[in-house]
Structure 1
Amino acid sequence: MKRFLVVFSFLSFFSVFSQTKVGGIIVDESGQPVAFANIIFKDSYEGTITNDNGRFYLESDDTYETIVVSFIGYETKEIPLPQKVNYDLEIVLNETAEQLKEVVVYTGKQSKKDNPAIEILKKIWAKKRENGVRKFKQYQYDKYEKIEFDLNTIDSAMIKSKLFKGLEFMFDNLDTSRVTGKTYLPFFLNESFSRVYGDNQFQREKEDVLGNKNSGFEGNQAITAFVEDLYSDYDIYNNYLKFFDKSFTSPLSKTGVDTYNYVLSDSTYIDDKWCYNIIYYPRRKNELTFKGDFWVNDTTYAIKKINMQVTKSANINWVKEIYIEQDFDVVNDSVFLLKRDYMLSDFSFSKKEKSKGVYGKRTTVYDNYAFDIKRQEEFYKTASDPYDPRIFRRDSTFWKNARLESLNDDESGIFKMLDTLKTVPKFKTYYDIVSILSSGYVEIDKWNIDLGDIYSTFGFNDAEGTRIRAGARTYFGQNDTWRLEGYMAYGFSDRKFKHGFSGKFLLDRKTRLILSGGNRRDIEQLGLSLTSTNDVLGRSIASSSLVTVGSNDRLTNINLSTLGLEMEPVKNFRIRFGGSFRTLGSALPDAFSLDYVDADSPTGVSSEVKQFDLTSTLIYTPGKRTIGYGVERLNINDNHSTLVLSYTKGIEGFLESDFDYERLQFSYKQPWQIGGFGRLTSSLELGKTFGEVPLGLLSVVPGNQTLFSLYNTFPNLDFYEFVTDTYATLHLEHNFNGRLFSRVPLLRKFNLREIVALRGAWGQLSDENIALSAPTNIPLIAPDEKIYWEYSFGVGNIFKILRIDFNFRGNYLDNPDARRFGITGTFGFNF
């Protein structure tokens, strides 16, 4: 989501006209807007449907003199078009004097019986797996993709504003959108050309990128990563289509008959194939649905053409419009192949008609299909390098042949405009401001250093009082093969300096062999995670939270040094091996003790733990997508599972290490998209420590005394309330994305989202470990008699940025100062 804000905030900054343009509003006799009315150019299959507010826009490269407007229950009207451009029309539809049978069939809660549109849908479902490239043993095709961002709703006031003073030349390339009719200014364009190979017998596919061309922000992989995540591939035949991390019900879904109304509107020849036209629109508001129409062949029941437009009432933030259209090519009587895929998203802070925003547009063209060319399975295992420098240096001859769809004049003008823009100091100032706000770092280009991050500058906790921090990192580019980073901090209450520094070096790009190490001496709130921290730069929010629940005085002085190797021999499978040496002691000994029984100590008790560990970790993230090839890559998606298996060996005596023990840990995190019912996130963690260790090395069930909702913690547990050496925890959190609230009339307009969660923890603590630790001020207990559990009810999307959770404790209510109920919250920009 941060990437979206970068694109929207910073990049908020025609010469080819189609032959016919028309726009306006459709109303009934009382002046009320008619949503989902059908508008079509007479004697054509080019049309659109009005939005929730009765508004429409339609254009064509051909010249038409009449549009036909129709809707069930109203008289069909033919409206002459006196000019090529006709805006702000107001068309009044009159109710039909005679109620036809079709009105009964297609309005309200639709009857499935005797509706010809539903009968056609059933045949589409039966045939959907017989169309496209899946019909052949092997396939290959060329794929050309262009992604463009535009500033939209340009008016004279914007052009003359002080913001763009000195940048007026940018507006020389204005054009109007064929989907919305609004003026727009292109400012970003990325082109790529690739060849795709697939084998349905091996169930394998690979894509070789042969060329990539960027219009000017090639250094900003955050934009590229955002685009990659935004425009992930989809199949219209699937029951649900995922956009912006939400599942929209497809109009071709088997559950669509419970979500949409369908109308068989027309039939005609398209490319010598007789096709039916079916209009669809949602039954209810606020749900994740589309409106639009599709043309389907009468024999293969393959889709020839479809358009889908998200309704304005859909429960999605920061996006005013989503428009999708796909065209399919007729290969023969039985095969229809995807020819062109177009998607437009209008990002805006408001859904009002005249609000300004940013268009994100992707056009993908497919051609040169070939089938049943057999290749060995090894062929599909060897992928090309998408970051090969030659791919980014293709000449004009290559692109002339590679463009399966030519650039229009405004797209071609982007390259020239941005070359000029980069030379303007005012533009660079805007770029720097937004870059700092989005990344948190101030770039010092001449030294190749970034200062920051600025969001960690100030903090507060019981041990340090007010704290200030300053840091820096090396930065030559986003694909650096090495990076150094560090910080210094000072606490005004304890009057001590703290520090942290780390280094990462990519030794081999193919296997992603990375050497890393660092040292950290600081104050931290341990016990927020069941796994021991080896992060020498990270800092938990609990260590700097201004407001806490109860006394937040169980803080630890930590001096941690690490050295490790990591490699990725197979995609998304990483192996880590490393060593760490840590010294742990209480930061507030009067309130919190890490003392343990030590026969070698003159007092019989030691208050500081010194420990050397060797750790081996296996990490598997199937489906994870990244971008970049440097030592630090950007993640594109978050819908992948994560499995971690870790083995730690503590070695006594080495570097004066205190304890000999072994620890085995496993965790599994999985997001689940439950069709139209939202998103479930589940996490399972298991662990056991073999050997005797003190409190500082035990596994603490993660409590949360902050006012922030932190996933994988227990918000009604205090820090160190439960301590274990053997544990199992489970977290389940489901976000319905407003599906329930949308059915409640009084809540529907607020677009709220409901979240429910259930958490549980079980653990044991041996008598030997209890006896070894000697804390005098906290009890050492584990949830071994019964599983500790909590549940929560949350309301999200309050003012589009706020989520509040109401947390309830299920048991162990007799524990000292047990918190039965608590409220936590979080802020964030989410779609």
Structure 2
Amino acid sequence: MKEKNKVLSFLFLLLVSFTFAQVKIGGVVKDETNEPIPFANIIFVGSNTGTVSDENGKFYLESDKTYTEIEVSFLGYETKKMAIKSRDFNLTIVLKEEAAQLNEVFIYSGKVKKKDNPAIAILKKIWEKKRENGIYLFDQYQYEKYEKLEFDMNNVDSTLMKSKLFKGMEFVFESVDTSNITGKAYLPMFINESVYKSYGKNKGGKKLREDLIANKNSGFNSNQNVIAFIKDLYVDYNIYNNFIKIFDKSFVSPISKLAGVSTYNYVLTDSAFIDNKWCYNIIYYPRRKSELTFKGDFWVNDSTFAVKEINMQATRSANINWVKDIYIEQEFDVVNDSVFLLKRDYMMSDFSLNKKEKSKGVYGRRTTMYKDYVFNEEKEDKFYNEEINIYDEKIYNKTDEFWSEGRHEKLNENELGIYKMLDTLATVPKFKRLYNLVSILGSGYIEFNKFDYGSIYSTFGKNDVEGIRLRVGGRTFLGGNEPWRIQGYTAYGFDDHKFKYGLSGKWMVNPKSRFVIGLGNRRDVEQIGVSLTTTNDVLGRSFASSSFFASGDNSKLTNINLSNVFFSMEPKNNLNFRLGASYRTLESASPTTFNLDYWIDQENNIKESNIVQSEIDFSIKYTPNRKTIGYGVERNEVTDTYSTLFLNYSRGIKGVLNSDFDYHKLQFYYRQPILIGGFGRMFTTFEVGKTFGEVPLGLLNVVPGNQSYFTIENTYALLDYYEFVTDTYASLHIEHSFNGRFLSRIPLLRKLNLREIVGVKGVWGEVSDKNKALNASNINYVAPTKGYYEYSVGIGNIFKVFRIDFSWRGNYLDTPNANKFAIKGAFGFHF
């Protein structure tokens, strides 16, 4: 009976998808010994519609036209034509080896030779002409762009439909569709549509302006974290570049001049007219497994050598987590004999916990379409520097009539129905509970009416002063795009029997320039000196409760009372100016073992243990290429792989509110991610700073140690707290992940998908004699005048979520109780 129900359900899915394609086939290509043939070419006879089998010989192919025959071919085997039905997903195609050996120019030991290969000759022509194609031929250009992002549950079957998880929500399965790439049934869960007007300039300094005209969400429309994740999936790429960046990894482009021929096999297989242009068809597939490569084919024009169509499917053996399949299609439009322009760009990713064929997961899909190209319409530089108001509500409230005309391609019935389906789903209590659970785990906050409780991850803590620490807090929440927000917390230590708290508020007065006013107050126990570059953020990250997982003495904690007010604005996207004033008091939280004392009159043995300080500060922060989601006073970042430049000036003013010290402090911070082609990604962080004036320990720059068992960015793994103290410093951190480039070539380790990480950290600093003379604390000032450094080797992607680092101290080995070697770990979710 169960089998009968499965069959009926499968038939139902086929019926649901019937209107979307006339022919749907799938199966496997094998040789006469029953071994699968990877990268075989399958094409509908009489068309240019085809695909390439995967590493296991499996394929799926469909068309909205009626075809009755396919042709299957691969080098070294006889080409086979066979009749097909309109629906057949269990084809087994057996290819026979050719009786005569192929010319050695084309194949040798399973790899296509480079010498005299006509496909390579065509590639060389593509490289010569690539800068002459497309929009780069014109001084100025403009076009309209339509973008559709979709998020779908895949591998929908009868078992899932009958699952208790969907009890009471069975109506959602009325929207089941079938992927034209994989042939799997999927259930649409999210659509985001956008229309842009884009302008560009090539000469006299490249400039680009992109105006958001309209935006529409369905599903998860109030959850900025989900939208940010989906936006982060897909960045713009150019197939003519040597490497294509996807999921923050560099895949070798099939058109790569630098690495294409050494990475792929190329085979010239066909030629035909496409849009009245004679084109060659070239199939490509990787030479080695476990590298960041694609398989597929492309059509290239015979005179301009511009790519007309290309499809790229990432190999499943590539070292990338949580992603089973990646598929890309690009189509280019013919304007005239020398101009080809991008017309349609489609990308689909299949996210799953594992790469098994039947494992369930979700599709993330992006479709981008371009039209109405206009060239050499003169626009002055000031036009490109202007920015439209993306916070205009009209952008997000376009009529159905606008979308009916504004879409470059129509939504199918299921896509149109998702708006209504999700509106209905949002009223189902069970769905609300499931959705809230996922949202809580992702954000750390529990949503109530106009208020979020959290962060739940900070509820419990422990340190040597407070003992067990209990913390509760929350924030206002009016949908995620509100112009103001208030947040706060209170905490209690069971050993010191004291309550602590923090409270802050922000109000965005002008959304266009993002002019924000903020203020706050915090009274808490803090581990100061965990960052060289300091800020006066009232609710910044706290390390005081970390000794659950810490080693050594963790009693050097400080009671801090910090109040601040600030004004910030963003006159240009990603360029932020901030002016603030703060008042703070510092005193030791454990005076029996640690103090911040400084001399008032050393001759008469008069010293002070508390610090009172008033300060004004001005900072500039520039984050080029940073992408954000939302338009409220707080936004979510789409990705963290952007550069950061931060310059801060602080002025301590003696006498204001009984402030103790006059000083000037300058700090500069620069962080740069670098993708190095197929050799992984490097992060470099550079910091310099200097304090002018005489200040005590609580106001100096402490080189940040790390006494936890975990790897913490921008700290030194082998330093204890307060091991080095400076008033002038320079530091450089370099970390590089090879993304498994070397470990993937070791047979016994290949399937583990481990990733190599190397790093080096160094800091130089000094502390003036005047500041040393001021010191009356029980901390002996030691500055890294010889330049301290440490280096590390790590293995990442252990079980896909864990990383372990082995660190060695490079010098200052004679320091008493010096840590010379450490093993630390970190958890994280990375593609």
TM over 0.5: same fold? yes
Q: Which residue of 2 aligns with 1:177?
A: 179
Give the Cα–Cα distance (whole angstroms) in 2 for the partners of residues 678 and 312 of structure 1. 18
Q: Which residue of 2 aligns with 1:441?
A: 445
TM-score by length of 1: 0.95
Q: Which residue of 1 aligns with 2:813?
A: 813
Give the Cα–Cα distance (whole angstroms) in 1 for the partners of residues 387 and 561 of structure 2. 43
Partner deviation per Cα, 1:155-174 (whole Å, 9 max, x = no partner): 11110111001111100121
1:300 aligns with 2:304: yes
Q: Which residue of 2 aligns with 1:287?
A: 291
Q: Which residue of 1 aligns with 2:487?
A: 485
1:227 aligns with 2:223: no
Partner deviation per Cα, 1:73-117 (whole Å, 9 max, x = no partner): 222222321x20111222222322322115754655553221111
Partner deviation per Cα, 1:446-502 (whole Å, 9 max, x = no partner): xx1111111110001111111000001111121111111110000111111111111
Give the Cα–Cα distance (whole angstroms) in 1 for the partners of residues 541 and 547 of structure 2. 11
Partner deviation per Cα, 1:192-221 (whole Å, 9 max, x = no partner): 222222222352222222222222432222
Q: Which residue of 1 aligns with 2:59?
A: 56
Amino acid of the structure 1 residue aligned with 2:715: T
Give the Cα–Cα distance (whole angstroms) in 1 for the partners of residues 668 and 345 of structure 2. 42
SS of 2:690's partner is strand
The answer to whether the 8 A contact 2:580-2:617 is kept is yes
Q: Which residue of 2 aligns with 1:46?
A: 49
What are the residue-to-residue correspondences of 1:312-323 with 2, within 5 Å?
A: 312-323=316-327
Amino acid of the structure 2 residue aligned with 1:500: G
Q: Which residue of 1 aligns with 2:755?
A: 753
- Report the Cα offset of residue 531 of structure 1: 2.7
1:273 aligns with 2:294: no
Moved over 6 A (4+): none
Amino acid of the structure 2 residue aligned with 1:209: L
What are the residue-to-residue correspondences of 1:652-667 with 2, within 5 Å?
A: 652-667=654-669
SS of 1:696's partner is helix
Q: Which residue of 2 aligns with 1:5?
A: none
Higher alpha-carbon deviation: 540-549 or 343-352? 540-549
Partner deviation per Cα, 1:356-380 (whole Å, 9 max, x = no partner): 1111111112122222222233222
Give the Cα–Cα distance (whole angstroms) in 2 for the partners of residues 191 and 102 of structure 1. 51
Amino acid of the structure 2 residue aligned with 1:547: F
1:204 aligns with 2:176: no
Which of 407, 423, 426 in structure 1 is aligned with 2:411? 407
Partner deviation per Cα, 1:577-602 (whole Å, 9 max, x = no partner): 11111111222222222111122998
SS of 1:269's partner is strand
Which of 54, 78, 99 in structure 2 is aligned with 1:75? 78
Give the Cα–Cα distance (whole angstroms) in 2 for the partners of residues 592 and 535 of structure 1. 25
Structure-2 change in CA distance of 1:748 and 1:409 (3 Å): same
Amino acid of the structure 1 residue aligned with 2:807: N
The answer to whether the 8 A contact 1:106-1:263 is kept is no
Give the Cα–Cα distance (whole angstroms) in 1 for the partners of residues 255 and 138 of structure 2. 23
- Report the Cα offset of residue 424 of structure 1: 1.4
Unaligned runs of 5+ in 1: 1-13
Give the Cα–Cα distance (whole angstroms) in 1 for the partners of residues 828 and 467 of structure 2. 27
Give the Cα–Cα distance (whole angstroms) in 1 for the partners of residues 667 and 544 of structure 2. 24
Which of 516, 532, 543 in structure 1 is aligned with 2:545? 543
Amino acid of the structure 2 residue aligned with 1:368: D
The answer to whether the 8 A contact 1:542-1:706 is kept is no
Unaligned runs of 5+ in 2: 1-15
Give the Cα–Cα distance (whole angstroms) in 2 for the partners of residues 542 and 741 of structure 1. 38
Which of 396, 400, 404 in structure 2 is aligned with 1:396? 400
Give the Cα–Cα distance (whole angstroms) in 1 for the partners of residues 350 and 410 of structure 2. 23
Higher alpha-carbon deviation: 210-219 or 628-637? 210-219
- Report the Cα offset of residue 247 of structure 1: 1.0
- Report the Cα offset of residue 720 of structure 1: 0.6
Aligned positions, number: 813
Amino acid of the structure 1 residue aligned with 2:826: T
What are the residue-to-residue correspondences of 1:129-168 with 2, within 5 Å?
A: 129-168=131-170
Give the Cα–Cα distance (whole angstroms) in 2 for the partners of residues 566 and 415 of structure 1. 38
Structure-2 change in CA distance of 1:298 and 1:233 (3 Å): same
Q: Which residue of 2 aligns with 1:783?
A: 784
Partner deviation per Cα, 1:298-326 (whole Å, 9 max, x = no partner): 00000110000011001111111110001
The answer to whether the 8 A contact 2:485-2:506 is kept is yes
Structure-2 change in CA distance of 1:67 and 1:340 (3 Å): same
SS of 2:419's partner is helix
Give the Cα–Cα distance (whole angstroms) in 1 for the partners of residues 802 and 158 of structure 2. 35
- Report the Cα offset of residue 437 of structure 1: 1.5
- Report the Cα offset of residue 381 of structure 1: 2.3
Give the Cα–Cα distance (whole angstroms) in 1 for the partners of residues 398 and 689 of structure 2. 52
The answer to whether the 8 A contact 2:391-2:511 is kept is no
- Report the Cα offset of residue 382 of structure 1: 2.3
Q: Which residue of 1 aligns with 2:255?
A: 252
Partner deviation per Cα, 1:378-423 (whole Å, 9 max, x = no partner): 2222232233211222222222221211111111111121122122
CA RMSD in angstroms comes to 1.6
Give the Cα–Cα distance (whole angstroms) in 2 for the partners of residues 541 and 92 of structure 1. 63
Q: Which residue of 2 aligns with 1:793?
A: 793
Q: Which residue of 1 aligns with 2:127?
A: 125
SS of 2:547's partner is coil
SS of 1:211's partner is strand
Give the Cα–Cα distance (whole angstroms) in 1 for the partners of residues 510 and 554 of structure 2. 44
Give the Cα–Cα distance (whole angstroms) in 2 for the partners of residues 103 and 91 of structure 1. 27
What are the residue-to-residue correspondences of 1:398-477 with 2, within 5 Å?
A: 398-445=402-449, 448-477=450-479
The answer to whether the 8 A contact 1:149-1:189 is kept is yes
Q: Which residue of 2 aligns with 1:9?
A: none
1:669 aligns with 2:701: no
1:215 aligns with 2:230: no
SS of 1:390's partner is helix
The answer to whether the 8 A contact 2:790-2:809 is kept is yes
What are the residue-to-residue correspondences of 1:396-795 with 2, within 5 Å?
A: 396-445=400-449, 448-541=450-543, 543-599=545-601, 604-776=606-778, 778-784=779-785, 786-795=786-795
Give the Cα–Cα distance (whole angstroms) in 1 for the partners of residues 664 and 144 of structure 2. 54
Give the Cα–Cα distance (whole angstroms) in 1 for the partners of residues 60 and 161 of structure 2. 24
The answer to whether the 8 A contact 2:623-2:643 is kept is yes
Partner deviation per Cα, 1:174-195 (whole Å, 9 max, x = no partner): 1211100000111211222222
Higher alpha-carbon deviation: 592-601 or 177-186? 592-601
The answer to whether the 8 A contact 1:524-1:539 is kept is no
- Report the Cα offset of residue 279 of structure 1: 0.6
The answer to whether the 8 A contact 2:533-2:669 is kept is no
Higher alpha-carbon deviation: 302-311 or 511-520? 511-520
Q: Which residue of 1 aligns with 2:382?
A: 378
The answer to whether the 8 A contact 1:72-1:107 is kept is no
Give the Cα–Cα distance (whole angstroms) in 2 for the partners of residues 688 and 399 of structure 1. 56
Amino acid of the structure 1 residue aligned with 2:34: G
Give the Cα–Cα distance (whole angstroms) in 2 for the partners of residues 579 and 382 of structure 1. 32
Amino acid of the structure 1 residue aligned with 2:548: L
The answer to whether the 8 A contact 2:389-2:512 is kept is no
